[in-house]
Amino acid sequence: MPPSSEQPSEKQAGDESRCWLTWTLRIGSCACFLGWAWQHLRWSVPYDAVLWNPDYSDWLARAFGVSWETYIAEVVTDRRILFFERLIGVLYLALAVISVTAKRHSHVQLTCLGIGSELLVMASYCKYANAGHAMATFVEYGGQILTPTVLILALERGVRDRWTISVAIIAFCATFAGHGIYAVGLAPTPGHFYGLVSAILGLGENSADWFLKTVGVLDFVVCVGVFVPLMRRISLAYAALWGVLTAFARPVAGMAFAAPWWGADQFLHEAILRIPHAALPFFLLLVLGRQPLANSDENLKIGTESI
Protein backbone atom coordinates (compact mmCIF):
# COMPACT_ATOMS: atom_id res chain seq x y z
CA MET A 1 0.00 0.00 0.00
CA PRO A 2 1.49 3.41 -0.90
CA PRO A 3 2.45 5.82 1.86
CA SER A 4 -0.21 8.20 3.10
CA SER A 5 -0.58 11.32 1.01
CA GLU A 6 -1.71 12.95 4.24
CA GLN A 7 1.47 12.09 6.11
CA PRO A 8 2.28 15.05 8.36
CA SER A 9 5.29 17.27 7.95
CA GLU A 10 8.31 16.84 10.22
CA LYS A 11 7.24 19.73 12.45
CA GLN A 12 3.57 18.71 12.52
CA ALA A 13 4.32 15.08 13.38
CA GLY A 14 6.82 16.16 16.00
CA ASP A 15 4.30 18.49 17.62
CA GLU A 16 1.58 15.84 17.57
CA SER A 17 3.90 13.19 19.00
CA ARG A 18 4.40 15.39 22.07
CA CYS A 19 0.80 16.50 22.48
CA TRP A 20 -1.43 15.36 25.29
CA LEU A 21 -3.41 13.13 22.91
CA THR A 22 -0.39 10.85 22.69
CA TRP A 23 -0.35 10.54 26.47
CA THR A 24 -3.58 8.59 26.25
CA LEU A 25 -1.66 5.96 24.29
CA ARG A 26 1.41 6.24 26.51
CA ILE A 27 -0.67 5.56 29.62
CA GLY A 28 -2.49 2.69 27.94
CA SER A 29 0.75 1.07 26.78
CA CYS A 30 2.51 1.62 30.11
CA ALA A 31 -0.39 0.19 32.11
CA CYS A 32 -0.64 -2.82 29.83
CA PHE A 33 3.04 -3.66 30.23
CA LEU A 34 2.91 -3.08 34.00
CA GLY A 35 -0.05 -5.43 34.39
CA TRP A 36 1.55 -8.14 32.30
CA ALA A 37 4.83 -7.67 34.17
CA TRP A 38 3.05 -8.37 37.46
CA GLN A 39 1.33 -11.38 35.90
CA HIS A 40 4.73 -12.78 34.92
CA LEU A 41 6.63 -11.90 38.08
CA ARG A 42 4.02 -12.79 40.68
CA TRP A 43 1.81 -15.38 39.01
CA SER A 44 2.19 -17.16 35.69
CA VAL A 45 1.23 -17.25 32.02
CA PRO A 46 0.40 -20.62 30.41
CA TYR A 47 3.44 -20.84 28.15
CA ASP A 48 3.42 -24.57 28.83
CA ALA A 49 0.22 -24.81 26.76
CA VAL A 50 2.46 -24.26 23.74
CA LEU A 51 5.89 -25.41 24.93
CA TRP A 52 4.53 -28.78 26.13
CA ASN A 53 2.22 -29.34 23.18
CA PRO A 54 3.78 -31.52 20.45
CA ASP A 55 1.55 -29.89 17.84
CA TYR A 56 3.44 -26.64 18.45
CA SER A 57 6.84 -27.61 19.82
CA ASP A 58 7.78 -30.98 18.36
CA TRP A 59 10.18 -29.13 16.09
CA LEU A 60 12.02 -27.84 19.17
CA ALA A 61 12.65 -31.37 20.37
CA ARG A 62 13.98 -32.28 16.93
CA ALA A 63 16.13 -29.12 16.90
CA PHE A 64 17.70 -30.21 20.21
CA GLY A 65 18.15 -33.70 18.82
CA VAL A 66 16.22 -35.39 21.63
CA SER A 67 13.03 -37.39 21.98
CA TRP A 68 9.80 -35.66 22.98
CA GLU A 69 9.95 -37.32 26.41
CA THR A 70 13.50 -36.07 26.98
CA TYR A 71 12.52 -32.62 25.78
CA ILE A 72 9.74 -32.44 28.38
CA ALA A 73 11.80 -33.94 31.21
CA GLU A 74 15.14 -32.22 30.70
CA VAL A 75 15.01 -29.40 28.15
CA VAL A 76 11.79 -27.47 28.84
CA THR A 77 11.23 -28.05 32.54
CA ASP A 78 9.01 -26.18 35.00
CA ARG A 79 12.07 -24.43 36.37
CA ARG A 80 13.19 -23.19 32.98
CA ILE A 81 9.72 -22.05 32.01
CA LEU A 82 9.49 -20.14 35.31
CA PHE A 83 12.86 -18.48 34.64
CA PHE A 84 11.65 -17.55 31.16
CA GLU A 85 8.47 -16.02 32.63
CA ARG A 86 10.37 -13.95 35.17
CA LEU A 87 12.76 -12.71 32.48
CA ILE A 88 9.84 -11.62 30.29
CA GLY A 89 8.33 -9.89 33.32
CA VAL A 90 11.47 -7.80 33.78
CA LEU A 91 11.40 -6.91 30.07
CA TYR A 92 7.79 -5.75 30.45
CA LEU A 93 8.81 -3.46 33.31
CA ALA A 94 11.43 -1.88 31.07
CA LEU A 95 8.85 -1.51 28.29
CA ALA A 96 6.47 0.25 30.70
CA VAL A 97 9.17 2.87 31.29
CA ILE A 98 9.89 3.14 27.56
CA SER A 99 6.18 3.73 26.89
CA VAL A 100 6.24 7.02 28.78
CA THR A 101 9.72 8.13 27.71
CA ALA A 102 9.87 7.10 24.03
CA LYS A 103 10.76 9.85 21.59
CA ARG A 104 9.94 10.07 17.93
CA HIS A 105 13.52 9.79 16.69
CA SER A 106 14.65 7.14 19.16
CA HIS A 107 14.70 4.07 16.93
CA VAL A 108 15.91 1.91 19.80
CA GLN A 109 12.92 2.82 21.97
CA LEU A 110 10.42 2.40 19.14
CA THR A 111 11.95 -0.94 18.18
CA CYS A 112 11.63 -2.08 21.80
CA LEU A 113 7.94 -1.14 21.79
CA GLY A 114 7.50 -3.15 18.60
CA ILE A 115 9.16 -6.14 20.27
CA GLY A 116 6.82 -5.58 23.22
CA SER A 117 3.81 -5.98 20.93
CA GLU A 118 5.29 -9.25 19.66
CA LEU A 119 5.79 -10.48 23.23
CA LEU A 120 2.14 -9.69 23.93
CA VAL A 121 1.17 -11.70 20.84
CA MET A 122 3.12 -14.65 22.25
CA ALA A 123 1.53 -14.43 25.71
CA SER A 124 -1.95 -13.94 24.25
CA TYR A 125 -1.53 -16.90 21.92
CA CYS A 126 -0.54 -19.10 24.84
CA LYS A 127 -3.71 -18.04 26.67
CA TYR A 128 -5.67 -18.79 23.49
CA ALA A 129 -4.11 -22.28 23.30
CA ASN A 130 -4.77 -22.84 27.01
CA ALA A 131 -8.43 -21.85 26.50
CA GLY A 132 -8.99 -24.65 24.02
CA HIS A 133 -8.26 -22.55 20.92
CA ALA A 134 -11.34 -20.37 21.29
CA MET A 135 -10.60 -17.69 18.71
CA ALA A 136 -12.47 -14.99 20.66
CA THR A 137 -9.85 -15.33 23.41
CA PHE A 138 -7.11 -14.26 21.03
CA VAL A 139 -9.21 -11.59 19.30
CA GLU A 140 -10.11 -9.82 22.54
CA TYR A 141 -6.41 -9.30 23.30
CA GLY A 142 -6.11 -7.21 20.15
CA GLY A 143 -6.38 -3.93 22.05
CA GLN A 144 -3.57 -4.84 24.41
CA ILE A 145 -1.36 -6.26 21.66
CA LEU A 146 -1.75 -3.28 19.35
CA THR A 147 -1.70 -0.33 21.77
CA PRO A 148 2.14 -0.13 21.74
CA THR A 149 2.00 -0.27 17.93
CA VAL A 150 -0.52 2.59 17.84
CA LEU A 151 1.82 4.53 20.12
CA ILE A 152 4.73 3.92 17.74
CA LEU A 153 2.66 5.19 14.80
CA ALA A 154 1.46 8.23 16.76
CA LEU A 155 5.05 9.15 17.62
CA GLU A 156 6.44 8.55 14.15
CA ARG A 157 3.59 9.78 11.95
CA GLY A 158 1.30 11.85 14.18
CA VAL A 159 -1.96 11.12 15.98
CA ARG A 160 -4.13 11.96 12.96
CA ASP A 161 -2.24 9.96 10.38
CA ARG A 162 -4.27 7.33 8.50
CA TRP A 163 -2.12 4.45 9.79
CA THR A 164 -2.40 5.58 13.39
CA ILE A 165 -6.18 5.85 13.16
CA SER A 166 -6.54 2.61 11.19
CA VAL A 167 -4.60 0.47 13.64
CA ALA A 168 -6.35 2.12 16.61
CA ILE A 169 -9.75 1.27 15.09
CA ILE A 170 -8.68 -2.34 14.41
CA ALA A 171 -7.44 -2.72 17.99
CA PHE A 172 -10.60 -1.15 19.42
CA CYS A 173 -12.94 -3.31 17.34
CA ALA A 174 -10.99 -6.49 18.09
CA THR A 175 -11.29 -5.98 21.84
CA PHE A 176 -15.00 -5.21 21.88
CA ALA A 177 -15.91 -7.82 19.26
CA GLY A 178 -14.00 -10.47 21.22
CA HIS A 179 -15.86 -9.54 24.40
CA GLY A 180 -19.15 -9.48 22.50
CA ILE A 181 -18.66 -12.97 21.06
CA TYR A 182 -18.39 -14.38 24.57
CA ALA A 183 -21.08 -12.20 26.14
CA VAL A 184 -23.84 -13.01 23.64
CA GLY A 185 -22.95 -16.70 23.66
CA LEU A 186 -21.52 -17.10 20.14
CA ALA A 187 -18.72 -18.85 22.02
CA PRO A 188 -19.31 -20.45 25.43
CA THR A 189 -19.51 -17.60 27.94
CA PRO A 190 -16.74 -17.96 30.56
CA GLY A 191 -17.99 -18.66 34.05
CA HIS A 192 -16.11 -15.70 35.51
CA PHE A 193 -18.29 -13.37 33.40
CA TYR A 194 -21.31 -14.58 35.37
CA GLY A 195 -19.29 -14.45 38.58
CA LEU A 196 -18.35 -10.80 38.06
CA VAL A 197 -21.92 -9.75 37.25
CA SER A 198 -23.33 -11.65 40.22
CA ALA A 199 -20.69 -10.38 42.65
CA ILE A 200 -21.02 -6.72 41.67
CA LEU A 201 -24.68 -6.38 40.72
CA GLY A 202 -26.11 -9.20 42.82
CA LEU A 203 -27.98 -10.70 39.86
CA GLY A 204 -29.17 -14.28 39.66
CA GLU A 205 -28.23 -16.63 36.86
CA ASN A 206 -31.06 -15.71 34.49
CA SER A 207 -30.72 -11.97 35.10
CA ALA A 208 -26.94 -12.17 34.70
CA ASP A 209 -27.39 -14.02 31.41
CA TRP A 210 -29.81 -11.35 30.15
CA PHE A 211 -27.42 -8.59 31.25
CA LEU A 212 -24.42 -10.19 29.52
CA LYS A 213 -26.31 -10.69 26.27
CA THR A 214 -27.42 -7.05 26.34
CA VAL A 215 -23.93 -5.66 26.85
CA GLY A 216 -22.63 -8.16 24.31
CA VAL A 217 -24.95 -6.71 21.68
CA LEU A 218 -23.74 -3.23 22.67
CA ASP A 219 -20.15 -4.41 22.16
CA PHE A 220 -21.00 -5.08 18.51
CA VAL A 221 -22.99 -1.85 18.24
CA VAL A 222 -20.01 0.31 19.23
CA CYS A 223 -17.79 -1.52 16.71
CA VAL A 224 -20.25 -0.48 14.00
CA GLY A 225 -20.88 2.91 15.56
CA VAL A 226 -17.30 4.11 15.11
CA PHE A 227 -17.98 4.12 11.35
CA VAL A 228 -21.40 5.83 11.55
CA PRO A 229 -21.20 9.64 11.93
CA LEU A 230 -24.30 10.06 14.08
CA MET A 231 -23.28 7.19 16.39
CA ARG A 232 -19.54 7.78 16.60
CA ARG A 233 -19.22 10.04 19.60
CA ILE A 234 -21.72 8.26 21.79
CA SER A 235 -20.30 4.87 20.78
CA LEU A 236 -16.73 5.82 21.65
CA ALA A 237 -17.77 7.57 24.87
CA TYR A 238 -19.75 4.51 25.96
CA ALA A 239 -16.86 2.21 24.99
CA ALA A 240 -14.35 4.24 27.00
CA LEU A 241 -16.60 4.18 30.06
CA TRP A 242 -17.37 0.48 29.66
CA GLY A 243 -13.66 -0.22 29.25
CA VAL A 244 -12.96 1.38 32.62
CA LEU A 245 -15.86 -0.40 34.34
CA THR A 246 -15.01 -3.86 33.00
CA ALA A 247 -11.33 -3.42 33.83
CA PHE A 248 -11.94 -2.51 37.45
CA ALA A 249 -14.71 -5.08 37.85
CA ARG A 250 -11.99 -7.63 38.59
CA PRO A 251 -10.58 -6.00 41.75
CA VAL A 252 -14.01 -4.76 42.85
CA ALA A 253 -15.41 -8.30 42.71
CA GLY A 254 -12.32 -10.12 43.96
CA MET A 255 -10.59 -7.94 46.55
CA ALA A 256 -11.58 -8.18 50.22
CA PHE A 257 -10.30 -6.56 53.41
CA ALA A 258 -9.89 -10.01 54.97
CA ALA A 259 -7.45 -11.18 52.27
CA PRO A 260 -3.67 -10.59 52.50
CA TRP A 261 -2.90 -7.31 50.75
CA TRP A 262 -6.72 -7.16 50.29
CA GLY A 263 -6.07 -9.52 47.37
CA ALA A 264 -4.57 -6.63 45.39
CA ASP A 265 -1.63 -8.71 44.18
CA GLN A 266 -4.07 -11.16 42.61
CA PHE A 267 -6.67 -8.83 41.13
CA LEU A 268 -5.37 -5.27 40.74
CA HIS A 269 -3.03 -6.04 37.85
CA GLU A 270 -6.00 -7.57 36.01
CA ALA A 271 -7.49 -4.06 35.90
CA ILE A 272 -4.22 -2.32 35.04
CA LEU A 273 -3.41 -4.47 32.01
CA ARG A 274 -6.91 -3.77 30.65
CA ILE A 275 -6.48 0.03 30.66
CA PRO A 276 -5.99 -0.06 26.84
CA HIS A 277 -9.63 -1.19 26.58
CA ALA A 278 -10.57 2.32 27.74
CA ALA A 279 -7.56 4.20 26.37
CA LEU A 280 -8.16 3.21 22.74
CA PRO A 281 -11.80 4.41 22.46
CA PHE A 282 -10.91 7.53 24.47
CA PHE A 283 -8.05 8.27 22.08
CA LEU A 284 -10.34 7.79 19.07
CA LEU A 285 -12.99 9.97 20.70
CA LEU A 286 -10.45 12.76 21.14
CA VAL A 287 -9.10 12.45 17.62
CA LEU A 288 -12.34 11.85 15.71
CA GLY A 289 -14.96 13.29 18.02
CA ARG A 290 -13.59 16.65 19.10
CA GLN A 291 -14.11 18.22 15.67
CA PRO A 292 -17.34 18.92 13.78
CA LEU A 293 -18.69 15.71 12.26
CA ALA A 294 -17.81 16.74 8.69
CA ASN A 295 -14.12 17.13 9.56
CA SER A 296 -14.22 14.04 11.74
CA ASP A 297 -15.59 12.03 8.81
CA GLU A 298 -12.70 13.13 6.64
CA ASN A 299 -10.23 11.95 9.28
CA LEU A 300 -12.04 8.63 9.53
CA LYS A 301 -12.04 8.27 5.75
CA ILE A 302 -8.29 8.84 5.74
CA GLY A 303 -7.91 6.41 8.60
CA THR A 304 -9.96 3.59 7.12
CA GLU A 305 -8.74 3.67 3.51
CA SER A 306 -5.93 1.36 4.56
CA ILE A 307 -8.02 -1.10 6.59
* Contacts of residue 209, Cβ cutoff 8 Å, sequence gap at least 6: 189, 194
HSE, side-chain direction, 13 A CA sphere, residue 181: 14
Q: What is the largest CA-CA distance in the chain?
A: 64
pLDDT in tens, 141-193: 999 999 999 999 999 999 999 999 999 999 999 999 999 999 999 999 999 99
- Asked if 160 and 287 touch (Cβ cutoff 8 Å), the reply is yes
- What is the pLDDT, as a whole number, of residue 12? 52
Length of the chain in residues, anyone?
A: 307
Give the pLDDT mean for 11-17: 49
pLDDT in tens, 43-65: 999 999 999 999 999 999 999 99
Report helix angle 276-289 to 142-157, nearest 10: 40
- Asked if 267 and 194 touch (Cβ cutoff 8 Å), the reply is no
CA distance 142 to 171: 5
CA distance 305 to 307: 6
pLDDT in tens, 288-307: 975 544 444 555 554 444 33
- What is the pLDDT, as a whole number, of residue 291? 52
pLDDT in tens, 77-126: 999 999 999 999 999 999 999 999 999 999 999 999 999 999 999 999 99
- Which phi and psi angles does 44 have, rounded to 5°? -160, 165
CA distance 307 to 301: 10
What are the structural domain ranges in the chain?
A: 11-304
pLDDT in tens, 61-84: 999 999 999 999 999 999 999 999
pLDDT in tens, 127-140: 999 998 889 999 99
Quick one: residue 102, left, alpha or beta (phi over 0 = left, psi -120 to 50 = alpha)?
beta
How much is the pTM? 0.88
CA 57 from centroid of its chain's CA atoms: 26
Residue 285 has pLDDT above 60, yes or no: yes
The number of beta carbons lying within 10 Å of the beta carbon of residue 235 is 25
User: How many Å from the N-terminal Cα to the C-terminal Cα in the chain?
Assistant: 10
Give the pLDDT mean for 277-285: 97
